[in-house]
Structure 1
Amino acid sequence: KARIITPASGIVSGEALDVGVELELPEGWHTYWRNPGDSGEPVSLTWSGQGLKSSSKIRWPIPDRIPYGPLVNLGYKESVLLTQRLAFENLVGVDAIELTVSGRWLVCEAVCIPETKVMTLTLPVVEQAAVNPELKVRFDQLPLPQRAAGISETRWLSQTDLEIRLNFPGIDLSRLDGLYFLPFEEGVLDLTVAPTAVVEADQIVLGVGFEDASRARYDGLLWFQEWVNGERVTAAFMIEVPSPNDNSGGLAFLQAILMALLGGMILNLMPCVFPVLSIKVLGLMAEAGGSQQAQRQQGWWYTCGVIASFVLIALVLMVLRAVGEQIGWGFQLQSPVVVALLAILFLLLGLNLSGFYTIGSGISVNVGPEKGRLGALSSGVLAVVIAAPCTAPFMGAALGYALVQPPLIGLTVFASLGLGMALPMLLLSYSPGLLAVLPRPGAWMNRFKEGAAFLMYATMIWLLWILIQQAGEFGFVLTALSALLVVFAVWLWQAFKPTGLQRVLLLLSVLGAGWAISQIAVLAPTMPRPEQARAGDGGIQSEPYTEALLRAAKAEGPVFVNFTADWCITCKVNEVVAIDTEGTTELFEALGVRYLKADWTLEDPKITAALARFGRVGVPLYLVYHRGSETPLILPQILTGEMIRQALQTRAPAEINDA
């Protein structure tokens, strides 16, 4: 049996609601924890409802170890209550909300039965919710693992051997009946083997041996049972364990700084940045005949815009991840509202360059010192907004490192990434010889500026295409309506000095544009992308990525995994020139390759977690698994068909080691 429960009698507008799904199981049956162990599948819960903004990750109670022959599963017997916190928008004018949860779980005894169920619960929207005291106690006293921060230390003795030290004054190992490390991810260690344990003074020292040394994190539970007053009590501590290759020492920090600097420089060569480069070229041309001081000021203001934007995006990303959101690099373009706003921004930039309206002489073209600084700063910000979703060589490892470090270290790495991206323009501004090569300012610049406008329009079309993938045709119509009203408002402002009726029309246009954009925010969650197999232009049949499908595919033969997103231009270029080609299609057919596509266009916590296992926080990422191998070959982010061929025709790491 399954049901939704909550201690609250209703939903308070703008506040969070604690809810839970209770599963009651027949005697002898069990279901699974977040890491199901040697077999099984974790419980999956997806919430929806009017005004629902987000749902937290499941708060998993401490699991049982369930031996089954030579295997060990991790899960729950008899019953379990899985709780989450739902966040709502402003619900003014809403009387009641029907919450829906779509659940999937396995129930196992001698056999396993997959179960799916859609449950609903209708709650009124109230100013103050009453609380059911019995349910409140159940929620508050769930047997959740305790955090070990402050009482635990971890140290890697080798690539696979971990030492954990816990400060337990007066610990008596004879009272413990079973002591195991349960990782949050599958396939990391042998669950049947207990860690070694010794007592040193007031510390218990544990030795844990891992089987897979390729993960980005090894967090998990230190699970134990203790005899207390003649009863066996199960308890657990959460232990945070970074990768053995990911420490905060000086060498690793300097390596991350260097990789971020190189990655930022290479980012200038990625297709993502091309539309913005034309804007900066205009600024440099305008300054080609000016003073060296003005040229260098432009370079530094552009650099400030790039670095500040990278740090700001990183700060938002860190805060959201700290409160439980499963997001990664490029998260801003996973929001249809942000995509719509960017499309309108590029339309306005194009119209400005085309001469429809005038703010200075176009962004980044110097008309007086103040406008030149603002233009350089804004072009730096714009470059980051467009380039940020893409990753270049060296960037992936540096960003993965930064997001698991203390905030100061992480932000320093992101600032280095920004410095690397801005460095070519900054050096150019300090190179009079190179600037002298550029043509002198003249009437021809107006034609160049008008031509550059078409790059802005092309970028707008690309963003609208992304929006259609995310929010459907109606999302496109709402964006087009908003753009029409914004352009009308700009025309009113430029053509007249709005007074009276004109001022009212201007205000109504702005409000109407805002209303249209706000409707996209309501619309987008109700229009998920269809999870179905799609064929690429080259005829390669892809399947939607899931962990279960990957496990099954690896057992049958070679697998190619493509982590991609529609807003990632680098991903799309790689698909055109390397993946969706006749040669790659024939190669996949000849070798029997399964092609799995992990589409990250919209936020997907499972794909974010999969990227994190390889130390990545963004796309693209390309993996090749050989039959029976758990360790993939990671391909470069700039891909060619020959690279794919070589990876598929290279023996798997396990085969090489056995040779």
Structure 2
Amino acid sequence: MTVFLGLGSLAWGAPASASSDWSHNDQGAVRLISAVTAVGDSGRLQLGLEFHLKPGWKIYWRSPGDAGFPPSIDWKGSDNLADAMIAWPAPHRFSVSGLETMGYKDEVVLPIVVRLNDPAQPAALKASVDYLTCDVLCVPGHADLALELPAGAAEASPQAHLISRFLAQVPSDGALQGLSLVTAQATEGGGLKVVVTANPPLSNPDLFIERADQMLFGKPRIRLQQGGKRVVFETFPVPKTGEGDLFDKPLTLTVVDGSRGMEVVSDVAQAEPGSRLSKIVGMLGVAFLGGFILNLMPCVLPVLSLKVLGLIGHAGAERRVIRAGFLASAAGIMVSFAGLAAAAVAVRSAGAAVGWGIQFQQPLFLVAMVVLITLFAANLFGFFEIPLPQWAAEAGKGRGDSHGMAGHFAAGAFATLLATPCSAPFLGTAVGFALSRGTPEIFAIFLMLGLGMSSPYLVIAAWPQIAQRLPRPGRWMIVLRRLLGGVLVATAGWLLAVLTAEAGTWTGSAVGGLMLAVLLILGFGRRLPAIARGAAVVLLGFGGLALANGGPSRPIQGAPSEIKGLWAPFSKEALAKSVGEGKVVFVDVTADWCITCQVNKATVVYRGKVADSLRAPDVVALEADWTRPDDDIAAYLAGFGRYGIPFNAVYGPGAPDGIVLPELLTDEAVLDALEKARRP
């Protein structure tokens, strides 16, 4: 606290010259002050709204950010007052648990220019002030202030210097401060890049952005160049704020560096040519790696049965048949990824949240997947054969190709759909890049993901002798088919569990009964006694009726997870409160359908030193359940440029903005982040 603040504090409660009385509360005090002792003859008065705040408490700037509201003054009841205008000194940024707010701590004076109706008459000013003070909690404040200035010559008051000090901190056009805007330019990814030059150099700059339609922007990434004589700010709009795109309305840009400030209004220019292409080329490589690694993720393991049988089925076949089969599987993958891209574009155009794997949040999609997997399992059990077109049957006849081209294509598409609950390394980066860009980028990235995932198929298509060297199909394949059919049944059971969590026990049981009836009828058919066939028909009817009428769903919001007794429900408010109390916070964005999330928990979170660390008294574990659609969770992920899960971050005194962890957790990564977040 400054010396002035200390002296001012001694005067609280005693009227000072050219000032109102102090209005006190538990968070501090506020009063109205004047730079002159009388109204003078100019018709204008320089006033100030002076706040003294207790340690830790803050008030808000004119654009408060993600929370809060700025001080406001109602002058009703004042005499000889024409109008009044508040000026705003350069604010400070407060980053707490992903929330970005702007305001002031300790001491601040908001300069006010008052215009009088009659310069020859005294002024009796009454100010009804509403404001919000926040620390860990937020408390609204109100003050009724009165200040009378007599007619006569205007002389400097004891508060004149204080008001002048804060007037100097009100950002101007930057000329006197040696600041100049070079460009405000859109980036290739839909973000914003602001370049400013400075002389003398900047040391700790920040950028605050305002727009008439309340479009919000995230905390900028800052790069100092040329020894601080040039600074580059890069930021992104907050999803679902504002209207239209960056080019629709001008921006008010406020650049702050300590007490220096510049405020300019600028339109947004188009992105630099050439930079977009280079960024996309690099991200295409990342997408290819992410798609290839997706083959190794646990979500794809249930499809291993189809891959294994397809590979063995080609043993001894002609090379052209092998090549055609694996090219068909690769085509199934590519077409599926193109479909996912089209769905992402459509969903985003409709204004809904979009992300990797969010189709598993839809009960109808889960029902369709359960049906498909059940039919695939029944086919592997030998309960029925999928009839193929004549050309496909002839192509496979006598060559060991038991599936035909349609079957191989379906296997590729099936593998893609089951892969979407997983997030592999590089995948989250590529998908986040795509979903924050336009339609061309979305299709390019998704197709490159498909190319990466289909690359093993393409390798075998290029060198079919790999498949030719495998053992030829025989009776042993009947046993293998039944074992692998069991794998698919287990997968259907997992999807039923997810469906039950999303749509309720009634719907999950109905679909399960329906699929059991399908297996009974397909598997045993005429061999079943009449009563058993009747029971199967009843199961079918029961399942269809339940699907038609729906059933009670579990409540999705507000129910804390009780898994392992570790988790509390996630919210931005709970996150900010825990960090504000000095806690270390581990955030886990998860879903019942996210297999990688469950693997992370089973192998890292619930084991050994990590589990012990998360149960420490100074650690809070928050679980954000994204099993069903949740706009708040989607917005939280988008704030990090992420559109898929798993997502984990660690916050604390040493990491108020959060430390983002990799998609595949390790003990070392979690423990290191917890330690860094703990150190202030």
> Same-fold call, TM > 0.5?
yes
1:238 & 1:473 partners in 2: Cα distance?
56
RMSD: 4.5
CA distance, structure 2, for counterparts of residue 648 and residue 360 of structure 1: 57
Match of 1:333 in 2: 360
1:553 aligns with 2:578: yes
**Aligned-pair distance for 1:373?**
0.4
TM-superposed deviation, 1:435: 2.0
Name the CA distance, whole Å, in 1 between partners of 2:242 and 2:622.
28
Q: Match for 1:268: what amino acid?
A: N
Larger radius of gyration: 2
1:372-521 matches, cutoff 5 A: 372-484=404-516, 486-487=518-519, 490=522, 514-520=544-550
2: CA distance, partners of 1:563 / 1:610: 10
Query: Aligned equivalents of 1:373 and 1:382: distance in 2?
Result: 14
Q: Is the 8 A contact 2:498 2:592 kept in 1?
A: yes
Q: CA deviation at 1:612?
A: 1.2
Give 2:68's aligned residue. 40
- C-alpha distance in structure 2 between counterparts of 1:186 and 1:594, whole Å: 28
Query: How many residue pairs get matched?
Result: 473
Give, in whole Å, the separation in 2 of the partners of 1:240 and 1:317.
27
Residue 307 in structure 1 maps to residue 334 in structure 2: yes
Q: Secondary structure at the match of 1:633?
A: strand
Q: Which residue of 2 aligns with 1:91?
A: none
Offset from partner CA, 1:153-205 (integer Å, 9 cap, x none) = 73469x995269xxxxxxxxxxxxx9767864576379xxxxxxxxxxxxxxx
Q: 1:639 aligns with which of 665, 669, 674?
A: 665
Is 1:596 aligned to 2:628, yes or no?
Answer: no
Counterpart position of 1:60? none
Task: Map Cα deviations across residues 542-600 of structure 1 (whole Å, 9 max, x no partner).
Answer: 11111111122222222111111110111101100000124212122347221111111
2: CA distance, partners of 1:320 / 1:66: 43
Kept after mapping to 2: 8 A contact 1:285/1:440: yes
Q: State the partner residue of 2:206.
A: none
2:239 touches 2:635 (CA, 8 Å); kept in 1? Answer: no
> What is the CA distance between 1:208 and its match in structure 2?
11
2:373 pairs with 1:346: yes
Q: 1:551 to 1:372 in 2, by over 3 A?
A: same
C-alpha distance after superposition, 1:460-503 (max 9, x if no partner): 111111112112211212212432454466569x759xxxxxxx
Whole-angstrom CA distance in 2 between matches of 1:479 and 1:238? 58
Task: Give the aligned residue type for 1:405.
Answer: R
Partner amino acid for 2:641?
G
- Note closer, same or farther for the CA distance 1:647–1:484 as it changes in structure 2 (3 Å cut): same
What are the residue-to-residue correspondences of 1:526-605 with 2, within 5 Å?
A: 526-529=553-556, 531-537=558-564, 539=565, 541-555=566-580, 556-590=582-616, 592-605=618-631
1:230-309 matched pairs, under 5 angstroms = 249-309=276-336
Residue from 348, 357, 372 that aligns with 1:321: 348
CA distance in 2, matches of 1:239, 1:553: 39
Q: How many angstroms does 1:220 deviate by?
A: 5.2
Deviations 1:114-140 (A, max 9, x none): 9xxxxxxxxxxxxxxxxxxxxxxxxxx
The CA distance in 2 between the partners of 1:241 and 1:428, in whole Å, is 48
Once residues 579 and 160 of structure 1 are traced to their aligned partners in structure 2, the CA distance between those partners, rounded to angstroms, is: 37
**Which letter maps to 1:572?**
Q
Q: Distance in 2 between matches of 1:612 and 1:360?
A: 45
Confirm or deny: 8 A CA contact 1:396 1:617 kept in the other structure.
yes
CA distance in 1, matches of 2:606, 2:333: 34
Cα distance in 2 for partners of 1:246, 1:559 equals: 42
Deviation at 1:224, TM superposition (A): 8.3
Assess, with a 3 A threshold, how the Cα gap between structure 1 residues 576 and 224 changes in structure 2: closer, same or farther: closer
Alpha-carbon distance change, 224 to 435 in structure 1, aligned in 2, over 3 angstroms: closer
Deviation at 1:348, TM superposition (A): 2.1
Q: How far apart are the structure 2 equivalents of 1:587 and 1:245?
A: 47
State the alpha-carbon separation in 2 of the partners of residues 246 and 635 from structure 1.
33
Q: Check 1:217–1:595 CA distance in 2 against 1; reply closer, same or farther (3 A cut).
A: same
Q: Sequence identity, in percent? A: 30
Do 1:295 and 1:430's aligned partners in 2 also have CA atoms closer than 8 Å? Answer: no
> For 1:595, what is the secondary structure of its paired residue?
strand
Secondary structure at the aligned position of 2:421 is classed as coil
Partner of 2:219: 188
* 1:620 matches 2:646: yes
Measure, in 2, the Cα distance between the counterparts of 1:217 and 1:154: 19
Equivalent position amino acid for 2:549 in 1: Q
Q: Contact (CA 8 Å) 1:561, 1:597: kept in 2 or not? A: yes
In structure 1, stretches of 5+ residues that fail to align are 1-31, 42-64, 75-107, 115-151, 165-177, 191-206, 226-236, 497-503
| Structure 2 letter corresponding to 1:543 | A
For structure 2, list consecutive stretches of 5 or more residues without a partner in the other structure: 1-59, 70-85, 94-100, 103-129, 141-182, 197-208, 222-229, 244-248, 253-264, 528-533
Q: How does 1:60-209 map to 2 (within 5 A)?
A: 154-155=185-186, 162=194, 184-185=215-216, 188=219
